[in-house]
């Protein structure tokens, strides 16, 4: 029910994904009457793979996380997360209030042992393909230990995407060891000491887009600013190219000849292709879509969640975290890692 366009975008995007992926099953959580009316506009729907779960309360986009956590026990966001917690769904996808989704996810699903705070991560386009950027806004202020944890989680997530030995870097104002604030410098020391982690040092913003790392770590304030700036720049370049192609008869002719290449470039750089940020560090899969996501964008978020399910991302994170964080936690009084019958216990 959240996001700028709510179910008017999410319902058709969901039906598109069902049509393209026969193994997919979806539960639309929200106000039943609204969802049923929208679904009816699209004709016959496979009821065996699409169901509606009623939730009469809605978390507004400008609502405080504490209000969503304490005052709306029947919100669509909370009910969706409870479906994951109780094993009735394998992932939750939302375009709603980011702060509320993070607070509810931590409360309902809990974090993995050894993780203070979950981090939002998404793929960013680079010259060599893509890299994983985290955090994207879930944690505006971060300690060195949390940045270290983000690096560990990002490395595991990148491996699930097919990178055998991910290069992890810290986003900084320079690559020299003397540059940066105290949190970034301290996090660099922790990452350098990590076992079985390929830490490549500091990276600047231009290095990210050159593909000099597979995982780039920063706090949520910096990450969100970088993400939104990148999206704005992509839109600017696209609009400028279109304007140039309309400037004269010759430029129109050249634009027609270059049209296939321009369309491919737009598709490669489209924010829709990279929509869907995974919440890493939870005992369950949660994917956050942009609030302004359209139909195509939300399809990408659903696909991102399906990929996380296929790779069993929380279990992969849990097994790696036990090994990578154990030494650090045993020496600095950090969080104790415990398991019950092989499953994480918080």
The pTM score is: 0.83
CA 161 – CA 296 distance, rounded (Å): 22
Relative orientation angle of helices 220-245 and 249-269, to the nearest 10 degrees:
150
Which residue, chain included where needed, has tokens 């009457």? 33
Region 3-26: mean pLDDT is 94
pLDDT tens digits along 26-53 = 999 999 999 999 999 988 888 899 999 9
Domain boundaries, the chain: 7-109+275-310, 126-269
pLDDT tens digits along 241-290 = 777 777 787 777 776 777 676 666 666 655 556 688 999 999 999 999 98
Q: What are phi and psi of 101, to 5 degrees?
A: -65, -40
Region 45-72: mean pLDDT is 92
Residue 108 has pLDDT above 90, yes or no: yes
Residue closest to 27 by CA, chosen among 107, 86, 71, 114: 86
Non-local CB neighbours of 225 within 8 Å, separated by 6+ positions: none
Specify the CATH superfamily of domain 7-109+275-310: Isopropylmalate Dehydrogenase (3.40.718.10)
Q: What are phi and psi of 275, to 5 degrees?
A: -70, 140
User: Between 1.10.3720.10, 2.40.160.10, 3.30.70.260, 3.40.718.10, what CATH number should domain 126-269 receive?
Assistant: 3.40.718.10
């Amino acid at each position: 029910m959240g996001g700028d366009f709510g179910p008017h975008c999410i319902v058709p995007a969901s039906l598109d994904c069902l049509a393209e992926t026969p193994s997919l099953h979806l539960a639309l959580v929200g106000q039943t009457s609204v969802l049923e009316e929208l679904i009816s506009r699209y004709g016959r729907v496979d009821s065996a793979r699409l169901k509606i779960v009623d939730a009469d309360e809605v978390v507004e986009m400008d609502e405080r996380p504490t209000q969503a956590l304490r005052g709306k026990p029947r919100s669509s966001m909370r009910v969706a997360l409870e479906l994951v917690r109780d094993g009735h769904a394998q992932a939750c996808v939302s375009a709603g209030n980011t702060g509320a989704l993070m607070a509810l996810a931590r409360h309902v699903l809990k974090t993995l042992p050894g993780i203070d705070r979950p981090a939002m991560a998404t793929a960013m386009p680079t010259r060599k393909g893509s890299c994983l950027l985290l955090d994207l806004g879930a944690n505006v202020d971060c300690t060195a230990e949390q940045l270290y944890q983000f690096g560990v989680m990002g490395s595991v997530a990148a491996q699930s995407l097919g990178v055998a030995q991910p290069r992890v870097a810290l986003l900084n104002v320079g690559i020299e060891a003397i540059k940066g604030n105290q949190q970034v410098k301290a996090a660099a020391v922790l990452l350098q000491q990590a076992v079985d982690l390929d830490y490549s040092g500091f990276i600047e913003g231009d290095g990210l887009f050159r593909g000099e790392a597979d995982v780039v770590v920063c706090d949520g304030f910096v990450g969100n600013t970088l993400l939104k700036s990148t999206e704005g720049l992509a839109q600017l370049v696209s609009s400028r190219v279109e304007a140039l192609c309309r400037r004269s008869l010759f430029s129109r002719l050249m634009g027609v000849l270059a049209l296939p290449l321009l369309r491919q470039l737009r598709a490669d750089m489209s924010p829709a292709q990279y929509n869907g940020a995974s919440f890493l560090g939870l005992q369950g899969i949660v994917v956050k879509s942009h609030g302004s996501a359209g139909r195509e964008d939300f399809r990408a978020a659903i696909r991102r969640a399906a990929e996380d399910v296929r790779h069993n991302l929380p279990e992969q994170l849990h097994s790696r975290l036990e090994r990578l964080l154990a030494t650090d936690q045993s020496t600095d009084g950090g969080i104790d890692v415990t398991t019950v019958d092989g499953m994480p216990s918080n």
